[in-house]
Each structure stands twice: as C-alpha cells, then as structure tokens.
C-alpha cells in the first residue's frame, strides 16, 4: 500500500488554485504536477520550497507527517 507523502492536491483546493496554474508558475509539464497530486512521484526539495512560497504556506503544510 502506497502512503500519500504530500498534501499538494488538498492545499491547491484550499487555496482555490489548479494544477494548470501551478505548472504555469513553475514552468513544468502538467503531467508532472498531476503525478505530484496523485503521489505517484514527489517534487524535489527545492521545488517544494517554491510551491510553498507560491501557495503562501509552510513547507510542512504540504507534507503528511502522520
């Protein structure tokens, strides 16, 4: 069973932002953001920091720590 590591999909919804918006802001392929949102892959640490700044949340708000 795969554990969801990030909360990106949830935080995007809370901030009323879309995957498309995030991929445009980061300059990455939409399929990359989709993989992050489904937890089939994870952003690297540098990208995670950029995402937290764009969404105006702390990095640990993007991570599932349970």
Residue pLDDT, tens place only, 2-33: 578 899 999 999 999 999 999 999 999 999 99
- Range(s) of the domain holding residue 30: 8-61
Residue 43 lies in a domain: yes
pLDDT at 64: 83
Residue 2 lies in a domain: no
Residue 1 lies in a domain: no
User: What's the domain count of the chain?
Assistant: 1
Buried b (16+ CB within 10 A) or exposed e, 4-23: eebbbbebbeeeeeebeebb
* Residue 20's CATH number: 1.10.260.40
Residue 48 lies in a domain: yes
């Amino acid at each position: 069973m795969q554990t969801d590591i990030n909360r990106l999909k949830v935080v995007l919804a809370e901030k009323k932002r879309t995957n498309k918006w995030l991929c445009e802001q980061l300059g990455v392929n939409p399929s990359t953001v989709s993989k992050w949102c489904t937890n089939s892959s994870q952003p690297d640490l540098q990208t995670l920091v950029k995402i937290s700044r764009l969404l105006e949340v702390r990095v640990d708000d993007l991570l599932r720590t349970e």
